[in-house]
Amino acid sequence: MAHRWTNRLTARDVTPEALWLGRRAVLGGLAGLGLVGAGGARADTPEPNAWEDITRYNNYYEFGTDKGDPARHAGRLTTSPWSVRIDGLVDRPGDYDFAAIMAKMTIEERIYRFRCVEAWSMVVPWNGFELADLLDMAGVQAGARYVAFETVLRPEEMPGVRYPVLDWPYVEGLRLDEALHPLTIMATGIYGRDIPNQNGAPLRLVCPWKYGFKSIKSVVRITLTEAEPPTSWNKANPREYGFYSNVNPEVDHPRWSQATERRIGGGIFARREPTLIFNGYADEVAALYAGMDLKTNY
Ligand SMILES: Nc1nc2c(c(=O)[nH]1)N[C@H]1C(S)=C(S)[C@@H](COP(=O)(O)O)O[C@H]1N2
Ligand SMILES: [Mo]
């Protein structure tokens, strides 16, 4: 399929893989214990305030809310065989086998700026395919306006779902035009390898102009709907998390500023950089929100 997007970021911008691998240690302050990274790479521990903000947010709550839980427990998740149910307002609803999807897709590397946790960013080389291509397989019907996503729910493999920290299964949503945008991909790999379980194997959404929590992991169901679908973080805390969740330095989270961020790998003395509207992808996506008040539609 003809893809309409070109990387502006290059391999030179990519966060070194060792730092990516060691990120949880970097963010969790374990760096001092020598647990950081392959190849002996050692990153700095962020200052305590930032550390607090980060550790309050975990990356894959189905495996627990403790900062080390995803890496510790996600290995239990069985990711093969895997299928994705595509239903709702589509011409060809059904269970789409992941291996069959992969056989049909063009897998490309995309280097994206990614907000991994709220005030930290990285530049990550993802491998994947455009979500639009998957939706094409199912045939989106005229009445569809939104896309709802659901993560697998397997209590026997996911120790965190015993706790009602979120309303399981984890769900997310995009407006149809956001979902069809060429920047929106389903990632199946990272740094040229299969995606690790804790990052959402075997396929997870990546929507690079939005905050990290929109990028739902280990997707098993995609439903085309007419109405705006519920999202996990909005259900848990509607004041703090809206449906859109576009990266926006002008709209603070009620508990912290979103105006600046730090690039992982910058080290403890790295200056905070100004956060860019739409995470730096304004040229590509601002038109989707023309005329919308982004303060009320946060
Ligand atoms: N199913 C599911 N998806 C999820 C989460 C989660 O807890 N469960 N956490 C989200 C949050 S808060 C973030 S910041 C990103 C983190 O993705 P990463 O670990 O690949 O950086 O995943 C998002 N996707
Ligand atoms: Mo997050």
258 within domain boundaries: no
30 within domain boundaries: no
Is pLDDT at 8 greater than 90 in this prediction?
no
Residue 87: other Cβ atoms inside 10 A: 16
Pocket mutation for ligand 1, best pick of 24, 58, 60, 121 (most atoms within 8 Å of C-beta): 60
Domain containing 101 — which CATH number? 3.90.420.10
Is pLDDT at 162 greater than 90 in this prediction?
yes
Ligand 1 centroid–CA 146 distance in Å is 21
197 within domain boundaries: yes
**Ligand 1 atom closest to Cα of 211?**
14
178 within domain boundaries: yes
The total domain count for the chain is: 1
134 within domain boundaries: yes
CA dist., res. 281 & res. 278, Å (int)? 5
List ligand 1's pocket residues with C-beta within 6 A. 57, 59-62, 116-117, 151, 170, 199, 212-213, 215-217
Amino acid at 254: P
Ligand 1 centroid–CA 55 distance in Å is 13
Which residue has better confidence, 256 or 126?
A: 126
- Which ligand has the nearest atom to the CA of 152? 1
Span of 5-9, 36-40, 167-171 with lowest mean pLDDT: 36-40
Give the pLDDT confidence of 94-140 residue by residue, as tens digits: 999 999 999 999 999 999 988 876 678 888 889 999 999 999 999 99
Ligand 1 centroid–CA 117 distance in Å is 9
Map tokens 């309409």 to a residue. Answer: 4
SS3 295: coil
The range of the structural domain enclosing residue 92 comes to 55-247+278-289
Which parts of the chain fold into alpha helices (H)?
Answer: 17-21, 23-28, 48-55, 69-73, 98-104, 131-138, 176-180, 232-236, 282-285
